[in-house]
Chains A and B, each alone.
Chain A
Amino acid sequence: MTVSYVIKRLIYLVFTALLVSLIVFSVTQLLPANAATMILGEYATDEALAILNSKLGLDDPAAVQYLRWLGNVVQGDFGISLRTSQPVGPTILNAFGRSAILAVTSLLLVCIIAIPLGVLAASRRGKPTDLGVSLVSYIGVSMPEFVLATLLLVWLASPSLGLFPASGYVPFSEDFWGALHHIALPVLTLTIVLTAHISRMIRSEMADTLEMDFIRAGRLRGLSKRRVLFRHALRNSMLPAITVIALDVGYLIGGVIVVEEVFAFPGVGRQLILAIQNRDLPMIQAGALIMAASYAVANLLADLAYGALDKRIKY
């Protein structure tokens, strides 16, 4: 991997971030009602609207508004929430920290569980182990997060059992076990769904790799089954697996939104849904942007890892 490869990826990231911000901004521009109407309500006089419009700079051409908004965002200023009249920046950053705990914990768990599971299934192709793993992952990928989350709630958080709290969040700094208790169900939901996804992907990547000539060649050189499987097959499957995992981060983000909603977990997803329901423009923009940005960063990391591992990439 060369410096120019890293630079190229970084340029690419900035380019993507700009385009995403443009899309986010344009989408919110397309809304039938603008911020002034939202603030003053439906029955505001035209005069009052005009005054507020010019005060908020909503009279300016869209391009000017975009650049001004972008300039503020770069400085960490996401505007004032229309719903709570609080600055959006700190709110969203706090929420982001909580969401990140959910996402990262789940992703780590998934990597630990899904990769061995996929390898196991691929190496026992057509045998009971494979069929079992495939069946479970089939069900996993066909179960939307909200269904699984709700079912988990029904079974594990019912008042009669009281195993887990049904909703809410406690910061780790205040009560470690309580915090763990609160994130258990959301993390469990995300882990199950993602594990199904990723183990399926790993299995099919491994199965493809195991079909390749160099695997047969390795076996016919008298290498042990273990060595062929782990040194050759797994190593060659890891490259596409990295890409798959990075892509599934996008899926994970969608899952986070849903899971936060189901468990009333105060993260970015819940903020975003609340903002959408209340047409809280600055909050929608901030929430969407921060999620898209984390996805972009995940993809960047995957690209860099790919570049470091794959000897063939040269730019």
Chain B
Amino acid sequence: MTQTMVLDIKDYSLTYQTQSGPIRILENINLQIAKGEVLGLVGESGSAKSSLAYSVMRDLPGQVEMETGSMWLKGEDLMTMDEEELMHRRGKQISMVFQNAATALDPTQSLGDHVEETLQAHQAVSKLNKSKQETLKRVYELFELVGLPDPILMAKKYPHEVSGGEKQRVVLAMAISSNPDLILFDEPTSALDATTAVNMLDLFAEMQKKIGVAGLFISHDLGVVAEVADRVAVIYGGRIVEVATVEDLFANPKHPYTQSLLASLPRPSDIRYKRGLKIDEGTPPPRRGAVPNCNFSHRCPKHDPAICDHSRVLLEIQDDRKLACVRPDVAVNEEQARSSDILPPTTDIVLEVKNLTVKLGRASLLSELLNKEATQVHAVNNIDLKIHRGETVSLVGESGCGKSSLARALVGLNPFEGELCLNGCDIKALDAAYRADVQIIFQNPDSSLNPRHTLETILSRAIKLYRPDIAVKERSEAIQKLLEQVRLPAHYRNRYPHQLSGGEKQRVAIARAIAADPKVIICDEITSGLDAAVQAAIVALLRQIQQDTGVALLFITHDLAILRHIAHRTAVMYLGEIIETRSIAGLDHAPYHPYTEALLSSASSPDPKTETRQVRLKGSLPVRTSLLTGCGFESRCPRRIGDICHEQPAPIKSTAESSHILKCHHEIVDLERIEPVWKFT
């Protein structure tokens, strides 16, 4: 390669030794990043994308069995350097932005000291000892550059005193402090809320333009990568399978894995084009034992043993891109999945919530004695919500908006004030009958399934408690049926949760919920931790169950993209209140509540046919301790009118669209004039 490459990885392979034998992490990696270029690296969980970043940093956590190839940073091979030489390059020539800024900062050190020590570490090296004053000046400069307000005050703060977005900005400030040649971004936005994440992405793009640094941007989210990268490399099972420019890759993916990955991602235009999601929950490629010639072949629709298994399939230049596939031009007999229309819901209300309020936090005995005021957080504030039979209502909002508190209140895990009405009956106490009718599925199946119980125990408990009509003898059969319903093999009944994959675990949680034959299932962020293909499969399963049983779903999520494939209506929540309710199709056009508008704009889209209008929010979510006098969104609203927003609660308004209501001081006619967030071409 030419000298202009900042990073040049040549035929790099890494194998770790483990107790159960060697395990291949990375195989034959060839990647180049030119000066000023951002290369995106995309792959599902377990694809070893982060391992590649740490290999470049020369920081390998495992016990290395074999490591071959070379890594050139501006003409120097990183792999031949000793610890001392590496120390002088880390943070100076290559720096890193970590996934979780909260844990990447030392809790006992102030933010300013973090940046200062990084600067000092590299000044000493270059014999450019600046005075303390000058270093401090540079710290403030950097803080300003990454958009931290009031740098002098900020520098004195400690990590726990600032928000997640602000911490990530500090990490970025450290990364750019020594004008590096290359920055490695390891999932830098996935721990952040959507509205904060887009601000960070904007900032990365801006920084990149300003200082012209090269970047390796790692993410599981193609949409995010599409926003910042020039070129994208797709990694699968430790091998790079396709490298192309963002435009080429999204418009015309060639590797069957890339195709499958893109086909399972939801897009804003899906309703318009009646596009469905591809369900391809393939198993990951083998990392031990025999080396497959193509590691996607075990799930590849085009796999032809005569051609594909002939010799190692390597990444080679083919036309406008690099590709690791020997039959890219073979057409597959596979159509893009079509979306079937979501069945319309009925008009009978199954669950109605009136004036529901949840207060969290209890004063301790001692602070009561000390006469301290109890600080109660109003997690949910006076909410009204109706769910019809056979309907899916999605509840969206950022973390901390109170959506989980609401979910937990509805199943009796949080005390609440207000009225509940199930099937037209007022609910006085959450008794066994109510619990059977209203089921919940939690976000993380790792913690919602008891690791010491087999699937049989897990499912039989639900049957025993809720289905007295099923005799003891018939329970085994009922478990069989439940496993079938969620498409798990019957022999799984004796397994423990840790023997299952993430998607399979979530299916068990679904089976447990439907065991009661409920009227309503509350799904609390149940697809958040899952890869796109698995998410698509879970959503399809829920729809099937809804079709078969007419169950109503309250689908809680922070991910707006998936809604179109499951929900009929959406309710947007902010600071404990529902600020807008409307049909899913309605999201494509104004009027929007200003918060909904910003939230929609922050959803990244891997869709070449969609143009997203930028709406950005400043600041972070406040905490609702005492009742606010005005509108909860007032402090961050880009369309704030004036004092009225602060002084008076926002009135509830209906629009021309049926069942569309929003809470805002703006007149509906004014909001209707707002351009839609998406333009479909």
Query: Interface on A for B, CB 8 Å cutoff?
Result: 4, 7-8, 11-12, 212-214, 216-225, 227, 231-232, 235-236, 239, 309-312, 315
Contact = CB atoms under 8 A, between A and B. Distances in A.
- Nearest first, the 7 closest Cβ-Cβ pairs linking A and B are A222-B91, A221-B91, A213-B103, A222-B90, A217-B104, A311-B158, A214-B106
A221 B118 contact: yes
Contacts of A236: 106-108
A227 B121 contact: yes
Interface residues of B, number: 33
Contact of A213 (B90, B95, B98): B98
B35 interface: no
Nearest to B86: A222
A312 B160 contact: yes
- Of listed A11, A213, A232, A315, residue having the most chain B CB within 10 A: A213
14 contacts: A214-B105, A217-B98, A217-B105, A220-B57, A221-B90, A221-B91, A221-B118, A222-B88, A222-B89, A222-B121, A222-B122, A223-B87, A239-B108, A309-B108
Nearest to B93: A222
B406 to A, nearest CB: 29
A260 B121 CA distance: 52
A224 B372 CA distance: 46
B366 A223 contact: no
Contact of B96 (A212, A220, A231, A315): A220
A222 B124 CA distance: 12
B611 interface: no
Contacts of A218: 106
Given A8-B370, A312-B160, 17 more contacts: A213-B103, A214-B106, A218-B106, A220-B59, A220-B90, A221-B90, A221-B118, A221-B174, A222-B87, A222-B90, A224-B121, A227-B121, A232-B106, A235-B108, A311-B107, A311-B108, A312-B107
Nearest to B98: A217
Contacts of B91: 220-223
B355 interface: no
Contacts of B369: 11
A4 B367 CA distance: 10
A221 B89 CA distance: 9
A266 B546 CA distance: 81
A223 B103 contact: no
Interface of B: 57, 59, 83, 87-92, 95-96, 98, 100, 103-109, 117-118, 121-122, 158, 160, 171, 174, 366-367, 369-370, 372
Contacts of A235: 106, 108-109
A214 B171 CA distance: 11
Nearest to B57: A220
Contact of A8 (B96, B107, B366): B366
B98 A223 contact: no
B366 A212 contact: no
A100 B142 CA distance: 53
A125 to B, nearest CB: 14
A235 B106 CA distance: 10
Contacts of A214: 103-107
B59 A213 contact: no
A223 B117 CA distance: 8
- Of listed B83, B88, B90, B122, residue having the most chain A CB within 10 A: B90
Given A7-B370, A213-B104, A214-B106, A311 B160 contact: yes
A7 to B, nearest CB: 7
